[in-house]
């Protein structure tokens, strides 16, 4: 196997024996094949669109879910990946029938085989990251593919709320197909990378409209982080539709519902406030789940990444749905637009003890675009009076590496007139530090999930307008972003597309950036890594 798509990749270069995440080499190879055949299907759909033919939404959904399933910590289940390969091949065969001319298709689009042939094909020289020999082309192809995985994940969530955007799907598939095109130069692929960022903005806007259309605009909310006395179900990941259905189905059952990690921001939406059994948030970012899921005592539903391979002691309480999977854990299926049946999870919860208390107190969030716009006068006054000197965007992901303590220390040592803007699970590094407020404006403004980085971009654009600036980079905003998996890649590309410069990315730069590609990002966008907390504070604020 060879995988280097996430920040925790082995030795900072690539996982080759087994994933640091727990992905086996067998599953890694099958995921490579799934990506390969999905790219092949995308060649077919792209060519059919060029011939003026329509592609059914169901095909778009298959492609998005396939990409989503290969995101770090989403799907470890060999059988699930095999099923996805088979489905992709059979849909592709049907579509091939619609061609007037099948000439010149790449192997990824032509290849077909039965299940017994998948492992061998997965190991063949055409499949996998190292199939591209030139390291700069490989780097750009992977950068684009990872951005598209993030985009696919966000589209999938919007699709679950019955919002589709054919333009986004058509681009996603065209871009996937271009990663197989040997005629494209480094410059072509750099341009495609930025175009991917444009569709990243569109994808996040689609999801934002889907979420706020269904559940209202997030508002300032105090979330309990303690526990109650009833049995509970813990729901993790990013899928708000799954949460809605779970809350509906647990009504009046005596089972409470708690959020975990990236599901925390669900509390900020008005629509979920009507459920008295929506109890609070339990635990922290994804990587602490082994210890915390043990103590939760009840079932846990993973709607998306990040799954940590579970301990035997709670494995029978871990359930998956959507693009996720783990061998031996039960999976709840559901078609788009249909209600999933969560009753087996509820039955299990009723037999479980109430969660063990691991924390007490509250946290405050809900600072997505509309809420911040409502506070705009107050924020602008604070900036004009000098009470707020700088905003620091610290969005992104959390992870288990010790080096991420940097973010806790950085947040703690920030000048007291700086405000953190955050989104994604990176917030768990500093959202319980009680960093106080500036004239009633909390010093940590949490917009929501990683996809709600879109809100942070809208807020920056709004401030640019209010202050009458021509360039978003003239704002008193600095960017110190933590990344881990591929959703952070699309967020980064979206920010680059919006013209944001000098983003610091840590705790380490991606292994998939070749020296030349990294240089393009440094020279054109001022991308940089992180240093020590002291040096970076000096750099950003001229003090330490």
Q: Which residues within the stretch 413-452 sit at the binding site for ligand SF3 (CB under 6 A)?
A: 424-425, 449-450
User: Cα Rg for the chain, rounded, in angstroms?
Assistant: 23
Give the binding-site size for ligand SF4 (rule: CB under 6 A): 13
**Whole-angstrom Cα distance, residue 202 to residue 215?**
20
* Among the listed residues 443, 457, 396, 399, the one whose alpha carbon sits nearest the alpha carbon of residue 423: 396
The answer to whether 192 contacts ligand SF3 (rule: CB under 6 A) is: no
The answer to whether 266 contacts ligand SF3 (rule: CB under 6 A) is: no
The answer to whether 305 contacts ligand SF3 (rule: CB under 6 A) is: yes
Q: Residues 154, 484, 512, 540: which binds ligand SF3 (CB under 6 A)?
A: 484
**Whole-angstrom Cα distance, residue 501 to residue 525?**
5
What's the 3-state SS for 481-509? Answer: EECCCHHHHHHHHHHHHCCCCCCEEECCC
Beta strands in 357-463 (DSSP E): 362-365, 390-393, 418-422, 437-438, 441-442, 444-446
Answer whether 167's CB lies under 8 Å from 341's CB.
no
Which tokens belong to 114?
């039965």
Question: Looking at beta carbons only, is 234 or 509 nearer to ligand SF4?
Answer: 509
Q: Which stretch binds ligand SF4 (CB under 6 A): 13-21, 259-267, 311-319, 381-389?
A: 13-21
Report what 3 binds from ligand SF4, ligand SF3, none; CB cut-off 5-8 Å by kind: ligand SF4
**Whole-angstrom Cα distance, residue 471 to residue 434?**
33
Which tokens belong to 205?
């806007």
Q: Which stretch binds ligand SF4 (CB under 6 A): 15-23, 268-276, 314-322, 527-535?
A: 15-23
The answer to whether 487 contacts ligand SF3 (rule: CB under 6 A) is: yes
Q: Residues 5, 173, 284, 480: which binds ligand SF4 (CB under 6 A)?
A: 5
Report what 397 binds from ligand SF3, ligand SF4, none; CB cut-off 5-8 Å by kind: ligand SF3
What's the 3-state SS for 340-353? Answer: CCCHHHHHHHHCCC
**Whole-angstrom Cα distance, residue 264 to residue 221?**
11
Q: Which stretch binds ligand SF4 (CB under 6 A): 6-14, 342-350, 397-405, 531-539?
A: 6-14
- Axis crossing angle, helix 78-96 with helix 25-50, rounded to the nearest 10: 20
Binding mask 373-412 toward ligand SF3 (x if CB under 6 A, else -) reads ------------------------x---------------
Answer whether 174's CB lies under 8 Å from 45's CB.
no
Which tokens belong to 408?
């806790």
The answer to whether 21 contacts ligand SF4 (rule: CB under 6 A) is: yes
Answer whether 486's CB lies under 8 Å from 72's CB.
yes
Binding mask 55-84 toward ligand SF4 (x if CB under 6 A, else -) reads -----------------x------------
The answer to whether 263 contacts ligand SF3 (rule: CB under 6 A) is: no
How many residues are present in the chain? 544
Q: Which residues within the stretch 426-465 sit at the binding site for ligand SF4 (CB under 6 A)?
A: none
Answer whether 510's CB lies under 8 Å from 12's CB.
no
Residue 438 forms beta bridges with which residues?
441
Report what 487 binds from ligand SF3, ligand SF4, none; CB cut-off 5-8 Å by kind: ligand SF3
Q: Which stretch binds ligand SF4 (CB under 6 A): 5-13, 195-203, 265-273, 519-527?
A: 5-13
Q: Which stretch binds ligand SF4 (CB under 6 A): 8-16, 55-63, 233-241, 312-320?
A: 8-16
The answer to whether 4 contacts ligand SF4 (rule: CB under 6 A) is: yes
Q: Which residue's Cβ has the minimum distance to ligand SF4? A: 19
- Axis crossing angle, helix 453-466 with helix 376-385, rounded to the nearest 10: 60
| Residue that has been written with the tokens 């629509």 in this structure | 271
Question: Looking at beta carbons only, is 11 or 351 nearer to ligand SF4?
Answer: 11
The answer to whether 23 contacts ligand SF4 (rule: CB under 6 A) is: yes
The answer to whether 498 contacts ligand SF4 (rule: CB under 6 A) is: no
Answer whether 180's CB lies under 8 Å from 215's CB.
no
Q: State in angstroms the smallest separation of the CB of 486 from ligand SF4.
A: 9
Contact residues toward ligand SF3 (CB under 6 A) are: 73, 238, 261-262, 286, 305-306, 397, 424-425, 449-450, 484-485, 487-488
Contact residues toward ligand SF4 (CB under 6 A) are: 3-6, 8-9, 15, 19-21, 23, 28, 72
């Amino acid at each position: 196997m060879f995988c280097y798509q996430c920040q925790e990749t082995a030795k900072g270069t690539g996982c080759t024996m087994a994933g640091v995440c727990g992905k086996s080499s067998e599953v890694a190879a099958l995921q490579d094949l799934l990506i390969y055949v999905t790219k092949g299907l995308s060649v077919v759909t792209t060519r059919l669109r060029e011939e003026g033919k329509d592609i059914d939404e169901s095909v778009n959904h298959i492609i998005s879910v396939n990409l989503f399933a290969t995101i770090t910590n989403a799907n470890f289940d060999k059988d699930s990946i095999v099923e996805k390969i088979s489905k992709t091949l059979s849909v592709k065969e049907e579509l091939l029938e619609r061609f007037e001319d099948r000439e010149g298709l790449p192997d990824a689009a032509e290849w077909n085989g039965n299940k017994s042939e998948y492992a061998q094909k997965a190991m063949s020289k055409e499949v996998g990251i190292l199939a591209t020999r030139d390291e700069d082309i490989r780097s750009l192809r992977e950068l684009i593919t990872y951005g598209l995985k993030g985009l696919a994940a966000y589209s999938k969530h919007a699709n679950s709320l019955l919002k589709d955007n054919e333009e986004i799907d058509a681009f996603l598939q065209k871009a996937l197909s271009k990663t197989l095109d040997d005629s494209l130069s480094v410059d072509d692929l750099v341009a495609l990378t930025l175009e991917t960022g444009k569709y990243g903005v569109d994808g996040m806007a689609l999801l934002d409209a889907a979420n706020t259309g269904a559940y209202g605009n997030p508002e300032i909310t105090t979330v309990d982080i303690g526990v109650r006395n009833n049995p509970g179900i813990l729901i993790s990941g990013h899928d708000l539709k799954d949460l809605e259905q779970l809350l509906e189905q647990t009504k009046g059952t005596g089972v409470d519902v708690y959020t975990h990690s990236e599901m925390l921001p669900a509390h900020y939406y008005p629509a979920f406030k009507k459920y008295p059994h929506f109890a609070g948030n339990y635990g922290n970012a994804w990587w602490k789940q082994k210890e915390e899921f043990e103590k939760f005592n009840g079932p846990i539903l993973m709607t998306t990444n990040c799954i940590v391979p579970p301990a035997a002691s709670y494995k029978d309480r871990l359930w998956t749905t959507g693009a996720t999977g783990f061998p031996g854990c039960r999976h709840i299926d559901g078609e788009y637009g249909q209600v999933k049946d969560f009753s087996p999870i509820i039955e299990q919860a009723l037999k479980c003890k109430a969660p063990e208390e691991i924390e007490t107190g509250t946290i405050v969030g809900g600072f997505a675009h509309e809420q911040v716009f409502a506070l705009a006068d107050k924020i602008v006054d604070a900036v004009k009076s000098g009470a707020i000197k700088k905003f620091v965007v610290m969005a992104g992901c959390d992870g288990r590496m010790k080096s991420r303590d940097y973010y806790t220390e950085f947040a703690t040592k920030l000048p007291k007139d700086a405000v953190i803007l955050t989104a994604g699970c990176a917030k768990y590094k500093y959202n319980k530090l009680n960093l106080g407020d500036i004239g009633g404006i909390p010093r940590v403004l949490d917009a929501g999930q990683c996809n709600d980085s879109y809100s942070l971009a809208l807020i920056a654009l709004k401030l640019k307008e209010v202050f009458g600036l021509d360039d978003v980079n003239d704002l008193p905003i600095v960017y110190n972003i933590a990344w881990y998996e591929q959703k952070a890649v699309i967020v980064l590309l979206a920010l680059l597309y919006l013209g944001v410069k000098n983003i610091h990315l840590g705790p380490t730069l991606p292994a998939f950036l070749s020296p030349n590609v990294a240089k393009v990002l440094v020279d054109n966008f001022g991308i940089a890594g992180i240093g020590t907390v002291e040096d970076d504070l000096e750099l950003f604020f001229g003090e330490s």
